[in-house]
Structure 1
Amino acid sequence: MKQKKWATLTSLLLAGSIVCAASLPSPARSSEIPLSSFDSTAIITMDIRGADLRDVLSALALKMGVNIVLVDSTPTVVNINLKNVPVKKAFEQIMQSYGLNYIQNEDTMVVGKPETLQTGFFTEMILTRIDTYFVTSDKIVALIGQLGIPVKAFSVDSQPKKIWLQGTVQGLKKAKELIDSIDIEGQTSFNLEYRTLTLNQIPPQRAVDLLDKIGISLKHYVILDNRILVFDSNFFGQWEQIESVLKQFDVQSGKEYKTFVYQLRNIVARDAKKRLEQVGIKDVKAVVPNSEQFARDIIIVCPPYAETEVRSLLSGMDVSLTKVKAPVAYSNSSQTLNEARDLASEMSGVPIGSFHISDNIKPQSDAENSKYILWVEETPDRIQLIKDLIEDVVDKKDSGEEKK
């Protein structure tokens, strides 16, 4: 995607992108600066020659996971060589080397000459302009007003891809997050469609992290107070499931409790959850997806001190049981059972050699009503899994079979 161009009346950096006093093209990032993680304690090596200060601060902002506001628009060339130092120390070294200082408010840092910094900067009103590429400005202005983002936003018909915003650093930051979430390729016919998750107990970012752990990785979203506005339309079809999972996490204890995903090898999530409930460990909650009869991952929410005990219990439960023989389906067509066997084997991971199809058990005199049985030699939990698979996948009307 093309990078946006910015123009503003005051130097500004939002979410790791520098914006400057004049209309400037987006600065190119130095390929010599690693940007692989967001960790203020990460060790980095920087060998920079002739780089713009804006580029360097932009890279460090990404590395530290903060927003940097540069209030001095004077072009500054950076030459520095640092080897194996913490990223925060590299940042402070640059401050010292170029006579700069900074003030910080939560995850926003204001950088400039000591004489220009002022503690009231975070409450000052700043005017800036953002150029979009895929979504027209009138759509974005309407959405900003609809969502109540604390900025003044306006556009003009003659410049449909330019938005003017006025607000504090915090308000502009939220507006930029929104624009970055929706101004993506393929959104030329953007219709303002989104879904909202409202949290009452846990922070929204924790909810995003929890969803990521169960395989729901939100890409285009904005956090506003206790709300998460999601623009990933590919998740809309499973929205009820997402809300159901978050409802279980969004409790008072969810603020402090440990959450982890345990991967099962031998039993399914449904059985693991039942066994944990039978043990009855205090304040431990097991969350499983809708397809609990097939899933191999189980989400555990528990006090930090109980994590080791829960992991140990799950490990002890997740064992291969003694194999038994049991019927899993029958039909008047051996070919139908052959197809059911092949599919059940592929989906469950049970070797096809563990399945068997009987001869016709009906008397030869009753040739019109043949009956064949599909049976398997496996552990009880695997047998139940196979039955569930056959019930869900095999078309009973066509095969004439009935779940055993």
Structure 2
Amino acid sequence: MPTIRRDRENRWMGRVVIAGHLRDSKMFGTGPKHGPEWKRALAWEAQRKEEILREDAQVETLSSAPTLLDWVVSYLEDAQRRRAPKTFKEKQAAMKRLLAHAENLDLNEVTPGVALAYLQSQYDNRTGYAANKDRKNLAAAWKWGRNYLPGFPLELPNPFEAVAKFPEVRKPRYVPPEDDFWKAYKASSGQDRVMLTAMYYMPAGRKSDFFQTFLWSDVDFKLNTINLWVNKVKRRVPYRMHQELLEQLLWWREARPLKDVQNVFYCINIGDADPATDERYGKPFVSRGKFLAALCKRAGVETHFDFHSIRHRRAVDLYLAGNKVATIQGLLAHSNASTTERYLRSLRLDLTREDEVIEPERGPARLYTLAKGEAPEAATSEASCNQPL
């Protein structure tokens, strides 16, 4: 309410008081109460109070708005609780790459142009598939922020959805030739050979961390099964072992140098170090990423193959041995047959022809049974081996 200032020649003064504090004031002319100058002061008070309240709200919003790092950390914490470990690692990697690219930007500065520049760098330095995968993960993270993160700038469009998808040219999955696989197998011995056998026969053998977490308690020699953790169902599922893998594990259980170690596979070859003093001896593997590369080099295999390439070799061998898609689905631990069909087609197999051969110049491929000696001549059916019970 305007007040008259006797010390200012009876002029009216408009005052804006909010929460007991004088926020602004202004002098007006003289005249009676409810007169023109009094009304001008009253209108100014109302208008100015509204402006101050609006300014205060904007300051509060800016001070409570999350930063780019706040958004990343909050989203990853939620993703870690809700997503499978593999999915979480994928999202975490995408967020780390974005932070490295835009670490000096505020969240409201992440525009479609910034998103395009980041994704373009992924396309140029990696692949279109990698760029599109980051686009998908970052767009999902932005949606999550708008829905659940307090103070997230709702007025901003999703910058990652605004970027069009990049063209994808996927390389064919590499299938090691039979000769190369068998060269590497024959160059292996002891624990390395058992590991190679597990890679070939077990659905989880394609994963490098399998050898870090595989325990003797996972093996049931009476039931001839191995319990493998399946992320989709969040529990261990028993898989029937192939006879050759069973024999190899039985042999390794007796031949292993340390009988009290719970891990099936552990560090043995430590170079010139003394096993009695080297703390690595007998410990679980930290990584087996270089294992196959070293084995291929020792065997004289020019094109080195990795864990997943052995799975490709296994899938091709199963198909060319006459197994149906439903059987191969169980052996590869795919959740449905359509996944197996796409997988086999990606290996350049024509599912409309039962006798399709991926290596036509060599004739029909043979499904070898891994043995401690020479590779056998004939293929064997595996319809009941290595499938979930």
* Structure whose residues are more often strand by fraction: 1
Please tell me whether Structure 1 or Structure 2 has the larger radius of gyration of its CA atoms: 2
Instruction: Sort the TM-score into its range (normalised by shorter chain).
Output: under 0.3
Q: Under a length normalisation based on structure 1, what TM-score does the superposition of the two structures give?
A: 0.23
* Structure whose residues are more often helix by fraction: 2
Q: Under a length normalisation based on structure 2, what TM-score does the superposition of the two structures give?
A: 0.24
